[in-house]
């Protein structure tokens, strides 16, 4: 989803960084992996809840319902993804394969520096060939 459809204005770096710090990411350049299960930890959810209260002023009015509902780990993840994309980064997910863990316990996430470029993907799918007949 485009940033313009989620936020009235982009949230400040300090607020987004505080959200990421709660999950163990120290900076925007840090490539630390964090687990989905971190979203169940009470100390993390308290920090996220306080940050969400501050985020309300930046969200578009029609998107405020996301923030007003009961927060679940999945909703936290959606809000984190919105904030990270607003900063021109992406939230990358990776599944750890283990038969002993539930699905939610197998997911790891990290913030990557940039969003994939749509134009580059189009060029890869449609290569241009030159054919010459001699």
Domain ranges of the chain: 3-125
pLDDT by residue, tens only, the chain of 134 residues:
556 688 888 999 999 999 988 888 888 776 788 888 888 888 889 999 999 899 989 988 888 888 888 888 889 999 999 998 888 888 888 877 766 666 556 788 888 876 555 544 445 566 676 777 86
Residue of 71, 84, 76 lying closest to 25 (CA atoms):
84
Q: Are 36 and 107 in contact (CB under 8 A)?
A: yes
pTM: 0.74
């Amino acid at each position: 989803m485009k940033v313009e459809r989620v936020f009235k204005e982009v949230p400040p770096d300090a607020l987004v960084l505080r959200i990421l710090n709660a999950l163990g990411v120290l900076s925007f350049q840090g490539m630390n992996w964090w687990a989905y299960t971190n979203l169940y930890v009470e100390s993390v959810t308290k920090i996220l809840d306080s940050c969400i209260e501050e985020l309300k002023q930046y969200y578009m009015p029609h998107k405020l319902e996301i923030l007003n509902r009961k927060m679940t780990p999945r909703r936290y993840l959606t809000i984190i993804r919105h904030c990270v994309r607003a900063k021109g980064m992406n939230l990358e997910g990776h599944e750890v394969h283990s038969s002993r863990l539930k699905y939610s316990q197998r997911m790891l996430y990290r913030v990557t520096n940039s969003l994939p470029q749509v134009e580059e993907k189009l060029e890869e799918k449609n290569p241009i060939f030159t054919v010459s007949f001699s």
